[in-house]
Amino acid sequence: MADILAWAGGGFVIIGAALSLLGAIGVLKFPDVYTRIHAASITDTAGASMVLLGLCLIAGLSLTTLKLVFIWMFVMLTTPVSANALANAAFGSGHKPRIGAFQIMRTDERRKTPRGVDAP
């Protein structure tokens, strides 16, 4: 039983690591600040949750698991809020989304703008 739990926990840790990797790739590849925040917050929430869940399974019913649950609650309380604050600040300082319904740049303009530079 303990073996199965440890294997399942390891699986969850690997899933969390894969999600974090996806988030990192997204931060590098996505076109504008909002989509990048989206990718980064996947790392912070889903990736961290999966890793913590996996560690809980490995630790079993113990004080360590309780501490991990507290860490999870703290992560869930802080990282979505920080992503929200970041997006809020970006919006407040006039960054415009590059894709989606609020797209304001024409395709030819977007090709000319170097990557990583946001529309004025």
Partner 1 sequence: MITLPASINASLVLDIVLLVMLLVVAGAIVRTRSLLAAIILFGVYSMISAIWLVVMDAPDVAFTEAVVGAGISTIVLLGAILLTRGETEKSDWRKLIAPALICAAVGGVLIYAAMGLPDLGDASSPANAHVGRAYLEGTAKDIGVPNMVTAVLASYRGLDTLGETAVIFAAGIGVALMLGFGPRSSLASPPSNLGDRHVTLRVAAKLLIPLIALFALYVQFHGDLGAGGGFQAGVIMAAAITLHALVFGLRETMAAIPSRVARSVASLGVLIYAGVGVVCMINGGGFLDYDYLFPPAVEAQIPGWILGDGSHAPHWGQHAGILLIEIGVLLTVTATMVTVFYGFAGRTVDDARREAKR
Interface residues toward partner 1, by CB under 8 A: 74, 77-78, 81, 84-85, 88, 92
Minimum separation from the CB atom of position 57 to partner 1 (A): 20
- Residue 41: burial class (beta carbons within 10 Å; 0-12, 13-18, 19+): buried
Task: For residue 68, give every residue at least 6 positions away whose Cβ sits within 8 Å of its Cβ, in sequence order, or none.
Answer: 52, 55, 56, 59
What span, in angstroms and rounded, lies between the C-alpha atoms of 60 and 76? 22
Question: Looking at this protein, which amino acid is placed at residue 39?
Answer: A
Choice between 18 and 89, CB closer to partner 1: 89
The Cα 19–Cα 39 span in angstroms is 10
Minimum distance, C-beta of residue 1 to partner 1, in the bound complex (Å): 26
Q: Which is nearer to partner 1, 4 or 77 (CB)?
A: 77
The residue (of 28 and 81) whose beta carbon lies closer to partner 1 is 81
Shortest approach of partner 1 to residue 93 CB, angstroms?
A: 11
Spatial separation of the C-alpha atoms in residues 109 and 64, rounded to whole Å: 54
In the complex, least distance from residue 2 CB atom to partner 1, rounded to whole angstroms = 22
Q: Is the Cβ of residue 18 or residue 85 nearer to partner 1 in the bound state? A: 85
